[in-house]
A and B are shown apart, each in its own frame.
Chain A
């Protein structure tokens, strides 16, 4: 099911913290089913841009449109309801809860019904719970985390926590998935696994993905398009092969003096 026009349209967005302009008039668009990497040196404004898209920060200027509708000033829950899910740079799981329960929270947006019925686990509430559980089990199977289903999230090694976070984001059945450094701190094998999962998600569920990543090998391997930020500005945007040889990008990464 492809609709005309991009899925996400960011037009001239700036985010300021007092006098600091973290994101400076950035425009980019992400098409349906695309995998787009956002890269840039530390402090380039990547996470801030992601936060603006997910409604955590509101842009000082510019507009953000999702599926062609303006939604610049929505709150995070409203953004989530639209079909945008995300993972965090620093893992943000409920550490005392089991992996299964953590992933179930990703379904919260889809759950309705009365508190009383939920508490009694009766009638429609029971049916609903079973449906959601079945969906979550598909994700558990997909991400191969069956063995840790009942393990408290806080006891898992970092690489697995990242995977559980991805599972929770997927549980919301997002149209757009924002991944903030999904492979930070992982070893080579974990990175390869994560790459495969990201590509599989993109292929199997048709989910559009925007990710921030520092590992250039990974970025070049899995993304259809790369957007480069430096000091809050977009300095390049194109397929990996082009971006790799772009002079502005090389300068940003090799540390040419800024005037």
Chain B
């Protein structure tokens, strides 16, 4: 079947036990794709300003040579390979190469600082590392002395590497050459190794940067990943002609499943952006049909749109605002099964023509058939914004430990407040304590070298998600918050911090928020402003500022944010359960929360415990009635050096609307 062949839903639903031994690992599946879809584009990368394409047969051949190169360096079955870098075809090939030899790839976040990298490499006992460029090589060489197992470091981009003479360091081009030589002398080696792989081997170890403690390495088998990827592809009707933009970190299980597992299982095309800074431009050029992003990506796209709208001339601005409000209103009614007036039905096509269509085209969403938001709850307004434009964004609930997919909102059954129904093969149960438990073919093999954590999470085949939630009467899963974060104020009022934080973060001016309130008299908040949006706002008002810290403490900015907090309070006042938990006081942090400072994880989840400890003085000040507090903070630079920052932080009170009696 060639590219033009008829395109049907590529896969059948598969039960846990039935994997064809000829197609039960990713390298075997790629070999299959290389035969079936030899000339179909598997992967594109924008390089030197042009989208360079590689077919499935090239994909297989490149990965094969890398594998043989590794073999010539003495790669043994079971060896771990650290993979570090931006999304690059070469790194996806390296993943397959390791797997083809019975090894286990261990992707690591490319923005990790040395200490984090050292922990994962040492813990996973990686002997090999395949990395993108000099930046990563430098980090690896920095930690190498303390990583006993690490012997070989292979880099893709040779720039700046000319002067390096360290033993065990070579370029991917050199490795591929070694592979060719090895192939000539061992012609049957690769096929034999490939055939030895089996469905229940560990396919990958994904280290999850938990909000507490050290990272844990979740081990997923081929069976876990292939079955789950297939089931989800079937559930969603994915096709061979999907186009995906692979822009999320390779170390995140989501990218591994979407850009690697599902791409291989269904044979669709993935596209690697030119650089992290060009993602939005590349998104527009590719116009993917299948897109996934955590809420922060959707938020930042929305912020980008709003900033540009505010810069437009007044009539245009009014037009855009009018139609966006209309679209959101219609979508809200549609999702809550309310009637849509004839007037609105007539206006919507006009909006499509003048606003929604051009906007979608500009953002690169004109061809999207389905898009997911996952990883965190998404602000309802953000969700409505994109759906209102006619983009089929759906909520997905997943975990690393489940090979991602647990629930998805089916087409035509999308709700604002649920994360959908279980996909094929997933069973969900709510524990007596209100925790979400599930069981599926994707349930992982345990945490590497951490039986204790495995026992805590995996109980009789059921995964304890750590999320508080319930199943509604239609079988939709509703997630309230992290189970351990839901608590009560001193007077017994229920307090779900993330719920409030998400409301705050819908404001284009708020990038991050942390709410405090457990066993306290009232709710207070730390705010991180969005530098791009607030900076733009300040420029239009001729407010001069020098840096994030300076802008954050401007009285005008405090007024702006106070308005946003009051808006959130007004919306909380309408919620029967949570109306008592409104934000009474807030401060704008003098610095941005940063994964390098361990305040948030690399996937931008707030680490509450750590923040409460680090900013104890600020929290005390919030509850002591002061209107100003001095703070000293340690900052960690990208190269691991640390410095101290001193700042004066202002605290503001917020008006709390009286609860509306209904």
Which chain A positions have C-beta within 8 A of B159?
142, 200, 204
Which chain A positions have C-beta within 8 A of B47?
141
In angstroms, how far is the closest chain A Cβ from the Cβ of B643? Answer: 11
Provide the A224-235 mask, 1 if CB < 8 A to any CB of B, else 0. 000000000000
B163 in contact with A144 (CB, 8 Å): no
Contact of A146 among B49, B160, B162 (CB under 8 A): B49
Q: B15 within 8 Å of A by Cβ?
A: no
Which one of B270-278, B314-322, B441-449, B517-525 contacts A? Answer: B270-278
Considering only residues 105-164 of chain A, those with a C-beta below 8 Å from chain B are 133-134, 137-138, 140-142, 144, 146-147, 149
Contact of B275 among A133, A137, A138, A146 (CB under 8 A): A146
Q: A244 within 8 Å of B by Cβ?
A: no
Contact of B49 among A149, A196, A200, A204 (CB under 8 A): A149
In the complex, A204 Cα to B134 Cα: how many Å? 13
In the complex, A259 Cα to B49 Cα: how many Å? 59
Which chain B positions have C-beta within 8 A of A141?
47-48
Q: A203 within 8 Å of B by Cβ?
A: yes
B48 in contact with A137 (CB, 8 Å): yes
* Tier of interface size on chain A: 10 to 19
Q: B297 within 8 Å of A by Cβ?
A: no
Considering only residues 8-51 of chain B, those with a C-beta below 8 Å from chain A are 46-50
Which chain B positions have C-beta within 8 A of A199?
160
**A-B contact number at CB 8 A:** 34
* Secondary structure dominating the interface of A: helix
In the complex, A144 Cα to B278 Cα: how many Å? 11
In the complex, A199 Cα to B159 Cα: how many Å? 11
A196 in contact with B48 (CB, 8 Å): no
In the complex, A1 Cα to B49 Cα: how many Å? 30
Known pairs A142-B159, A200-B159; A147 contacts B49 (CB<8 A): no
Q: B192 within 8 Å of A by Cβ?
A: no
| Residue of A whose beta carbon sits closest to that of B638 | A189
B278 in contact with A147 (CB, 8 Å): yes
Provide the B159-200 mask, 1 if CB < 8 A to any CB of A, else 0. 110110000000000000000000000000000000000000
Considering only residues 279-305 of chain B, those with a C-beta below 8 Å from chain A are 281
Which chain A positions have C-beta within 8 A of B277?
146-147
| Residue of B whose beta carbon sits closest to that of A142 | B159
B275 in contact with A144 (CB, 8 Å): yes
In angstroms, how far is the closest chain B Cβ from the Cβ of A243? Answer: 23
A147 in contact with B281 (CB, 8 Å): yes
Contact of A134 among B48, B162, B275 (CB under 8 A): B48
Which chain B positions have C-beta within 8 A of A144?
275
Provide the A190-219 mask, 1 if CB < 8 A to any CB of B, else 0. 000000100110011000000000000000
Considering only residues 68-105 of chain A, those with a C-beta below 8 Å from chain B are none
In angstroms, how far is the closest chain A Cβ from the Cβ of B585? Answer: 34
| Residue of A whose beta carbon sits closest to that of B273 | A146
In angstroms, how far is the closest chain B Cβ from the Cβ of A107? Answer: 15
* Secondary structure dominating the interface of B: loop
Which chain B positions have C-beta within 8 A of A149?
49
Which chain B positions have C-beta within 8 A of A203?
160, 162-163
Residue in B46, B47, B49, B163 whose Cβ sees the most chain A Cβ within 10 Å: B49
| Residue of A whose beta carbon sits closest to that of B277 | A147
Which chain B positions have C-beta within 8 A of A137?
48-50
In angstroms, how far is the closest chain A Cβ from the Cβ of B617? Answer: 28
In angstroms, how far is the closest chain B Cβ from the Cβ of A175? Answer: 19
| Residue of A whose beta carbon sits closest to that of B135 | A196
Which chain B positions have C-beta within 8 A of A196?
160
In the complex, A196 Cα to B134 Cα: how many Å? 11
In the complex, A200 Cα to B46 Cα: how many Å? 22
In angstroms, how far is the closest chain B Cβ from the Cβ of A129? Answer: 14
| Residue of A whose beta carbon sits closest to that of B275 | A146
In angstroms, how far is the closest chain B Cβ from the Cβ of A90? Answer: 22
B163 in contact with A138 (CB, 8 Å): no
Provide the B361-401 mask, 1 if CB < 8 A to any CB of A, else 0. 00000000000000000000000000000000000000000
Which chain B positions have C-beta within 8 A of A133?
49
In angstroms, how far is the closest chain B Cβ from the Cβ of A136? Answer: 9
Contact of B160 among A134, A140, A147, A200 (CB under 8 A): A200
| Residue of A whose beta carbon sits closest to that of B48 | A137
Which chain A positions have C-beta within 8 A of B274?
146-147
In the complex, A236 Cα to B281 Cα: how many Å? 50
Which chain A positions have C-beta within 8 A of B278?
146-147
In the complex, A141 Cα to B278 Cα: how many Å? 12
Residue in A141, A142, A196, A199 whose Cβ sees the most chain B Cβ within 10 Å: A141
In the complex, A140 Cα to B277 Cα: how many Å? 13
In the complex, A183 Cα to B204 Cα: how many Å? 44
Which chain A positions have C-beta within 8 A of B46?
146
Which chain A positions have C-beta within 8 A of B275?
144, 146-147
Which chain B positions have C-beta within 8 A of A142?
159
Which chain A positions have C-beta within 8 A of B162?
203-204
Provide the B34-75 mask, 1 if CB < 8 A to any CB of A, else 0. 000000000000111110000000000000000000000000
In the complex, A144 Cα to B48 Cα: how many Å? 10
In angstroms, how far is the closest chain A Cβ from the Cβ of B641? Answer: 11
In the complex, A144 Cα to B162 Cα: how many Å? 18
In the complex, A142 Cα to B281 Cα: how many Å? 19
In the complex, A154 Cα to B277 Cα: how many Å? 19
| Residue of A whose beta carbon sits closest to that of B157 | A141
In the complex, A146 Cα to B160 Cα: how many Å? 18
6 A-B contacts (beta carbon < 8 Å): A134-B48, A137-B48, A142-B159, A146-B46, A146-B275, A147-B277
Contacts A137-B48, A204-B160 given; 12 further ones with Cβ under 8 A?
A: A137-B49, A140-B48, A141-B47, A146-B275, A146-B277, A146-B278, A147-B274, A147-B275, A147-B278, A200-B159, A203-B162, A204-B159
A-B CB proximity, top 10 nearest:
A147-B277, A137-B48, A137-B49, A147-B278, A146-B274, A203-B162, A200-B160, A146-B275, A146-B278, A141-B48
